[in-house]
Each structure stands twice: as structure tokens, then as C-alpha cells.
Amino acid sequence: MKEGETVGSSDGGSESSRNRSSVQGKRLKQCFGFCAVGVLTDLLLGGFKIFMGWESGSISVIGDGFNNMTDAGSVFLLMLTFYFASRPSDREHPFGHGRMEYLNSTLMGTAVVYVGVSLLRESAEKIFHPQPVLFSMELMILLVTAIAGKLFLAWLYRTADEAVGSKAFRAYSADSLADVAATGGVLMSLLAEKFWGWTVDGWAGAAVSFVVLYAGYEILKSAVNALIGAPPDARLYQAMEKKINSYPGIYGVHDMIIHDYGPGSQFVSAHAEMDSRMSLVESHQLADRIMQDMLHDFHAQTVIHVDPRAVDNPREPKYRKDLETAIIQSGLPVTFHDFFTAEKRDGIHLSFELGLERECPLSDREIYDKIDSEMKKLNPNYVTELLVDRNFISGQRYGGISTAKK
């Protein structure tokens, strides 16, 4: 390093921070645009229904129109959610406010479940006390218009979800589809009674209520999982893993964890295998470069843990092959990573971690005993040291000379 040169770059960090703010600002504008169209559509639908209800004297149609007005209000609240969620981190919220979007999705899911329960209760009353549905061309036009409007909103919010990656928009899309199902049930009941004389309004409503309840369950499940902590999107995970692996000097990536604090607020930690001959400064410079690029490409704050790999040892591939053979012979559902060898006077030390491919009833100690036994069959000089990762949670390290002597 030259005199006065520092590892990393504050200018690069500031530029990445400005880029992130620019991306967040662009995303917020997109969210506001989609929400504005949604609010306008709900207001038009609500106004049309209120007018038709006033002309026909139907209180239920007027009530449904005001329901659309409340939908417009909920979308306006979503706009406020996006605004507050985009605010930068502060002392009380060091990881930002992005999870407010997941909270909004939870509230929407709860509302959809409430609609489903209410519809099921009303449908049960109609099954036991059926009432004829009065057919009119005005009502037909109203129902078809409502279905078309809600289908448009479902498409709009799904498009918005794909554009900005928001679970909140996904929830609103599901809510719009639930409204389509409910209105479609009324339309089918109306036609069935008009042309075949079947009074199926209650049964159709009950069937639709289960569709609505399932939609609400899916919304709640997705939102709550995001709040608790769910596995990351597989495509995003693979893209990040590929990015880190693309750097010269990186020989593998494992134990990568993506911590999600809301759209655009992600923190990543990963173990990267580097040549054991690299100096501390060289490995730090490479890790720092990766972190800056991850911030630029994925807007994710990244921490790289460096694992050494003995790439200069010509016998290392043979040791890896023996470990693969031992795993196959053991019949255990495991893979290995973080493999490192050290040839010492007391034996050939093999240090690695095991990841479970599926559930395994054996304890970590029992897994160690089986692997160590198979390794000793291949070469009595092997000294095995391992730990088992269970869903990113590492257990106790087993092996080494102290364990071998017991």
C-alpha cells in the first residue's frame, strides 16, 4: 500500500449511500403512482355504485359503493405506509422502517379474513332462510362493471409488486381478487335464479367465503413469515452467491444469510473461502471490494467472513475426495464446506462444517462419530474436526486431538 492510502474508500461508501437514496426515491415515486391509480379506480367504482343504488333505491348497492370508498381510503393509508417505510434509519430504528410494509400486509390479511368470516355467516343465514334475488339489467351492468374494475386493480397491484417488490401490493392484489370472487358469486346466483329458477345465493356465497378465507390466510402467512424471518427469495440468494463467487481469489461461498428489514433494507453476512497464503491486508481489501459492490448492485449492507483454504497443497484434493467418500459411506444426509487441512506431526488435521440436506435424528456427536470412523478407515492419520450447521445455527465443534484421545 502507498503512503497515505487507506483500505476501503469513504467516497465509495458515500456514493453507494447516495445511489441507495436515489433508488429508494425512485421506488417511492413508483409506489405513489400505482396507489394513485388504485385510489382513483376505487373512487370511480364507488361513485358509480352509489349513483346506481340511488337511482334504483337499493340500500345494499349504496353500501357496496361506500365500501369501495373505504377501499380507496385503505390505499391512501398504504401510500402513507410507503412514505414512512422509505424514511432513513434513525437512533430508535437503526435498520430502517421497511418492515412497516409487512405490518400493512398483516392488517390487510386480517381484514380479508374478517370479510371471509362475515360472508360465510351471511351465506349460512341465506342457506337456512333463502330469499329470491331480484334480477335487473341495471344490477347486471353494476356487477359486471365491479368485476372488471376489481380485476383491473388486481392486475395493477400485481404489476406493482413485480415492479417494486412489495408484499403490501401483493396483499392488495389478493384482496381485489377476493372481491372479484364475492361479486362473481352474486352474479352466478343471479343468473342461476333468472334462467333455471335455482336459489343458490347462500351456497355460492359459502363457496366464495372459503376462497376469500384462503386468500386472507395466504396474505397473513406471507406477511407474518416476513416479520418473523423467512428464507430469502431463491433467485436473489443465487444472484448474490454468484456475485461473490465471481471474484478472482474466491474459492467458495457458504453460510450466507440475508437479513430482511423490508424492501431495500437488507443485510447480508457470508463466509468466503480465500487462499490461505494471502496476507491480512490483501484478504481485507478483497472483502472490502466485495462489500462495496454488493451495496452498489443489491443495495445490501454486507459483512464477509474470511475462511482460509490451502489451495497450495497438492494433496488437498485427495483429502476432499476422502471426505466425500466417507460421507457417502456413512449414509448421512449432509454436505460439507469450510474445508481446511493442516499437516502436522500428530496427524493430518481436517477441519470442516457439515450442512444438513434434510432432517437427521442423530445428534451432532453421533454424526461426528460416524464421519470420524469412516475417515479413520480411509487413513488412520486423519484427525477430524467438525461442527454441524442446522438451519444456519452452528453447534459445538467436535474432534481434534483432545477428542481423539477420549
Residue 1 belongs to some domain of the structure = no
Nearest to 117 by CA among 222, 10, 214: 214
Do 246 and 325 lie in one domain? The reply is no
Q: Estimate the share of the chain in helix, then strand, then coil, as percent rounded to the nearest 5.
A: 60, 15, 20
Residue 3 belongs to some domain of the structure = no
Do 359 and 340 lie in one domain? The reply is yes
Instruction: Work out the average pLDDT over 230-238.
Output: 83
Which domain does 273 fall in, by range?
Answer: 234-309
Do 59 and 204 lie in one domain? The reply is yes
Do 91 and 152 lie in one domain? The reply is yes
> Three-state DSSP class for 220?
helix
Nearest to 369 by CA among 342, 404, 393, 322: 404
Do 158 and 280 lie in one domain? The reply is no
Instruction: Work out the average pLDDT over 38-47.
Output: 88
Determine the pLDDT at residue 404. 43
Do 91 and 188 lie in one domain? The reply is yes
Do 147 and 216 lie in one domain? The reply is yes
Do 70 and 187 lie in one domain? The reply is yes
| 149-160 tens-digit pLDDT | 889 999 999 999
Share of the chain above pLDDT 70, in %: 82
Residue 403 has pLDDT above 50, yes or no: no
213 touches 120 (CB < 8 A): yes
| 337-370 tens-digit pLDDT | 888 888 888 899 999 989 888 888 899 999 999 9
CATH number at residue 246: 3.30.70.1350
Which residue among 309, 328, 354 closes a domain? 309
272 touches 291 (CB < 8 A): no
Residue 2 belongs to some domain of the structure = no
Residue 167 sits at the vertex; the CA angle it makes with 163 and 170, to the nearest 5 degrees, is: 75
Do 58 and 166 lie in one domain? The reply is yes
| 381-392 tens-digit pLDDT | 999 999 888 876
Residue 344 belongs to some domain of the structure = yes
Determine the pLDDT at residue 2. 41
As for how many domains the chain has, the answer is 3
Residue 6 belongs to some domain of the structure = no
Determine the pLDDT at residue 10. 43
Residue 4 belongs to some domain of the structure = no
Do 67 and 208 lie in one domain? The reply is yes
Which residue among 228, 262, 283 closes a domain? 228
Distance CA 396, CA 406 (A): 16
Residue 262 belongs to some domain of the structure = yes
Residue 260 belongs to some domain of the structure = yes
pTM of structure: 0.61
Distance CA 151, CA 284 (A): 53
Do 199 and 239 lie in one domain? The reply is no
Do 327 and 372 lie in one domain? The reply is yes
The residue to which cell 454486507 is assigned: 302
Which residue among 281, 309, 337 closes a domain? 309
Q: Which of 12-21, 115-124, 295-304 has the lowest mean pLDDT?
A: 12-21
CATH number at residue 195: 1.20.1510.10
